[in-house]
Amino acid sequence: MSGLRVLVTGAAGLVGAEVAARLADSGHTVTALVHNRPELVRNDGTVVRTVPTGQSGPGLVSCVAGDVTKPMLGLSAERYEELATGLDRVVHTAATTDFGRRWETYESLNVDGTRNVVRLAAEHTPVPLVHVSTAYVCGERTGRVLESELDAGQRFGTGYEHSKFLAEQEVRASGLPVAVVRPSMIVGTQESGLIRDFKNMYVVLKLFTQGRVRSVPGFYDALLDLVPVDYVAALICEVVDRFDEARGRTFHAVGAAPHTLLDVSNALAEYPMFHVPHYMSPSAFSVDALPPDERVYYRRIIAMYESFFRRRARFDDANAAGFASWRPAATGVDYLRTLLDHCVRVGYLGRSEPGIGDVLRLVGSAG
């Protein structure tokens, strides 16, 4: 399908920029809602060519500065009305994915922001909404997690996933025509490992490989689900194009198979310059027993991610598997090696940082 008028929120983000560019390449008219970043940069570093709003048309991207946390998305009444009456689809990717924020930030950006986007889509004739959530709305559940499930009384390990759970509830209660895409941990492309932003788990990998943190509480059979960014973007765009088929459904955008922490350790061990972390039973782990420098890194960074080192969720993706034109194939140590090779090739891993301040700056940039 071509010729749709699509609003993409969070269009300067990793997923949002890639989705906006792909939709334009497919012949759609794309309005990109941006906040702090004035330009759209694709995963490969290519800057997306944008045009003034008045020149928008099929195959073109126009940027609009706004703020999903504000009424009418921070737009003028005239511009808001133009959007509300001139859209065929809304793709909502705007969110903070940083694990280190205060709850008020998550509530404002991820929950209230979603509520404001829902209001736009429902302002006149209901506009189909493609909502980008996260597979980790399942919280700390163990075992098989179905795409049809949301509230199972789960406990949440981070404020981020709790806020995305609440946002998804808002979307489902809206009465709009809706499809939900839930990515797991977004990492580099399947073929080359290319990634625009080294955030979240990449920061953890940096601390591990440099030996800044050598011991963490976790289990070697804990599961990390890593999904290539190109698959996530492709699935979202396919849901936009084939919305009539996707309507009312949820899609787990996940990897070909989850990786155990043992897989991660085995992959890291192949690189002579990398340190390999030691996983300890959470019941035997003590932060206070760590060396002073390691204790600082742990408390400031690793503690935000530690629940992922003991989780054993497996995401069922029957809906996505039956819908998507292609799915990730790379898995196991081979795919981890692809990701690590890219990090080494561009200098993200394999070189030392002078101190925790540099790593903290990386974490700060993740917001």
Residues 202-206: what's their mean pLDDT? Answer: 96
Residue with tokens 């998550």: 106
What are the helix (H) ranges across 128-242? Answer: 159-172, 201-209, 229-241
> Quick one: tokens of 309?
């080192």
Q: What is the pLDDT of residue 187?
A: 97
pLDDT digits 0-9 by tens, 53-65: 878 899 999 999 9
CB 60 within 8 A of CB 33: no
Percent of the chain surpassing pLDDT 70:
95
pLDDT digits 0-9 by tens, 264-297: 999 999 999 999 999 999 999 999 999 999 999 9
- Among candidate residues 317, 4, 311, 75, the one with its CA nearest the CA of residue 180: 317
Q: What is the pLDDT of residue 217?
A: 95
Residue 183 has pLDDT above 50, yes or no: yes
DSSP 208-236: HHTTS--EEE--TT-EE-EEEHHHHHHHH
By DSSP bridging, strand 89-92 and strand 129-132 are parallel
Q: What share of the chain is helix, strand, coil (3-state, %, to 5)?
A: 40, 15, 45
Residue 364 has pLDDT above 80, yes or no: no
Burial of 42 (0-12, 13-18, 19+ CB in 10 A): middle
Q: Strand, coil or helix: what is 61?
A: strand
Q: pLDDT class for 354, splitting at 50, 70, 90?
A: very low
Inter-residue long-range contacts of 200-203, CB under 8 Å, 24+ positions, other chains counted: 200/97, 200/98, 200/99, 200/305, 200/366, 201/226, 201/305, 201/308, 202/343, 202/348, 203/301, 203/359, 203/362, 203/363, 203/366
Residue 361 has pLDDT above 70, yes or no: no
